[in-house]
Amino acid sequence: MATTAETIHKPQTVRPPNLEDHRLACAAFSWAQARRALDESLEGRPGFNMATLAVDRHARSPHAAKLALRWLGKAGARRDLTYAELSRLSNRFANVLKDLQVDAGDHLFLLCPRLPELYVAMLGALKHQCVVTPLFPAFGPEPIATRLTLGHGRVLVTTSSLYRRKVQALRESLPELQHVLLITDDDAPPPPGTQDLRALLDAASPTYQTRPTDAQSPALLHFTSGTTGKPKGAVHVHEAIVAHVATARMALDLQDDDVYWCTADPGWVTGTSYGILAPLALGVTLIVDEAEFDAERWYTILEQQRVSVWYTAPTAVRMMMRSGSTAARSHRFPCLRFIASVGEPLNPQAVRWGLEAFGLPIHDNWWQTETGGIMIANYLSMDIRPGSMGKPLPGITAGIVERSDDGSVREITEPGTEGELALRRGWPSMFRAYLGEEERYRRCFAGDWYLTGDRAWRDADGYYWFVGRNDDMIKSAGHLIGPFEVESALMEHPAVLEAGVIGKPDPLLGELVKAFVVLRPGARASDEVTRDLLGFARVRLGAAVAPKELELVDTLPKTRSGKIVRRLLRARELGLPEGDTSTLEAA
Ligand code: AMP
């Protein structure tokens, strides 16, 4: 495999980056030391709680009056919270849970637009030692119910309109869901079986004594998709914050006076690790925008809020590119000093477009829900090779491996050879379980290697290059979508006999979800049926997950054991070679 000759040289920076020399930092870094530094910041207070480290620690320091979070409402409202205020508000939320007799270890779900209460509830629940799952609010009722059930949700924080539209009808099928706390956003009276969160917060005490928290106790449960079976609940522990902090310092170069904007929703792991925990723990000012993507709005936020570090996603960058760099150049960004992106491959054009539009390249980095934090990155102090994910972080050992039939793996050391991307286990934000699925968790490891499911290669200088997934997972607009979940939803439609779902390359979304559907005997193929099925899937799954294209077909390619071969659907769709078809069912 050839590496591109193109290099974007590291910039001259006014002050030294946090990570000045990658090689030296790798030699000097240790997780034990990173952990000790956070421990010491607790000044002898027992326990190791993410929320204490993220806010309370600052609320007791000269940082107390510093702006922790600036919230920008969709309709132009603005709310500022200092570290002291965020600490008190999250104390109130922790007390609400205590008064409801919610216990440490209980599972709490957040299904909220990016409102201040989302941040308050997340931090308060962590202080109370609940296990928190933020859900993407654009999910439809089905993914929400599946995750609440799998995750044993006892408490749900949501808005009244989301509750009415997406949860109320399913409530009876969720017997474990005991408390629904609503942020009212409409005039209707609260539905039965719910409580008004703002009234509860007002009545609760602003002081709360967080009990000593075991660093190894579960803190976050992030769902991620699988190719087969149900979504997987990746469990992360309080200690993960050691990795959030260290990686945000090194890979995002966050420094004390930064104004930082992470555009990811907390319903995805990026929006929690780097949209809440890392920046607060580092004491920077966080910008939160409630609204959805709009290029002009984003340029205005970057300019007017004087954002200095911006963490975004390739799809958003591509959408901005579509509106051209003239739009960007009608704004000025004197404060912006670092841009990073994650979630899907960042096209070399996008890296270069950053230079055109902002005078800064975009720094790609790689990680996944299971890793809990950035593993491979382009750093401020490093030459960028556009199209490469960069180099592993200090403290992270990556490798390219090949699995053997007996379950063992062989490391491929020759540069330029493609294999599976693997990481040596042991970093603090590594997931500790797939909830309730020991075997599935065990299968992710071979000896000391965690196997990521991604294909990649490393060049002679240690840069990693992403090739694709090892499996049928779909990455659409940065969201990992399991084909099985989409197929299952389609199968609920009375006209559907079976469905196969693939990711189809798309210039904007990376991949779009495309479904192939075989109708039941008697159902007649027509444009109307296609439209009906697309609408059906959209209502059930939500716009982010539902197929954007759907094709009615007579048969689906299957193995002799009856498994749909999505690889073949994809090859046929793209006109690629079909590869080995010897195990297929005769058509
Ligand atoms: P998720 O668990 O939803 O964060 O998705 C993780 C997956 O997204 C990875 O396993 C990759 O397939 C993909 N991904 C994340 N970051 C990148 C990147 N910088 N380049 C290419 N793919 C990425």
The structural domains of the chain, with segments of one domain joined by +, span 49-238, 473-574
Cβ within 8 Å of residue 158, ≥6 positions away: 110, 111, 112, 167, 180, 181, 182, 183
Distance 469 CA to ligand 1 centre (A): 9
pLDDT digits (tens, 9 = 90+) for 269-293: 999 999 999 999 999 999 999 999 9
Confidence of residue 584 (pLDDT cuts 50, 70, 90): low
Which of 221, 265, 344 has the most ligand 1 atoms within 8 A of CB, as the residue to mutate?
A: 344
Radius of gyration over every alpha carbon of the chain, rounded to an integer in angstroms: 24
| Predicted TM-score (pTM) of this structure | 0.93
Task: Tell whether the model's pLDDT for residue 587 goes beyond 90.
Answer: no
What does DSSP assign to residue 520?
P
- Other CB atoms within a 10 A radius of the CB of residue 484 amount to 20
Cβ within 8 Å of residue 509, ≥6 positions away: 315, 476, 477
| 502 neighbors 469 (Cβ within 8 angstroms) | no
The tokens for 265 are 């929703």
Assign domain 49-238 to a CATH class.
alpha beta
How many alpha carbons fall within 13 Å on the CB side of residue 147? 32
CA distances from 72 to 24, 123, 292 (A): 40, 19, 11
Confidence of residue 582 (pLDDT cuts 50, 70, 90): low
311 CB under 6 A from ligand 1? no
Among candidates 149, 152, 145, 147, which has minimal Cα distance to 131? 152
Q: Kindly provide the residue ranges of all beta strands, DSSP E only, lying in 227-343, ordered along the sequence.
A: 232-237, 259-262, 285-289, 309-312, 338-341
The pLDDT of residue 2: 45
pLDDT digits (tens, 9 = 90+) for 451-481: 999 999 999 999 999 998 888 899 999 999 9
Distance 485 CA to ligand 1 centre (A): 19
Q: What angle do CA 215, 216, 221 make, to 5 degrees?
A: 105
The dotted CATH code for 473-574 is 3.30.300.30
Q: Which atom number of ligand 1 is nearest to the Cα of residue 369? A: 2
The pLDDT of residue 559: 78
224 CB under 6 A from ligand 1? yes
473-574 has the same fold as 49-238? no
Give the percent of the chain with pLDDT over 70: 98
pLDDT digits (tens, 9 = 90+) for 533-561: 999 999 999 999 999 999 999 999 987 77
For the stretch 292-301, contacts whose Cβ atoms lie closer than 8 Å and that sit 24 or more positions apart, written own/partner, are 293/263, 293/319, 295/319, 295/320, 295/322, 295/323, 295/327, 296/323, 296/327, 298/263, 299/327, 299/328, 299/330, 299/331, 300/331, 301/72, 301/261
Cβ within 8 Å of residue 43, ≥6 positions away: none
Among candidates 245, 256, 478, 261, which has minimal Cα distance to 374? 245
Distance 499 CA to ligand 1 centre (A): 25
SS3 of residue 179 by DSSP: strand
Q: What is the DSSP pairing of strand 131-135 with strand 153-159?
A: unpaired
- Other CB atoms within a 10 A radius of the CB of residue 520 amount to 11
Distance 16 CA to ligand 1 centre (A): 29
160 CB under 6 A from ligand 1? no
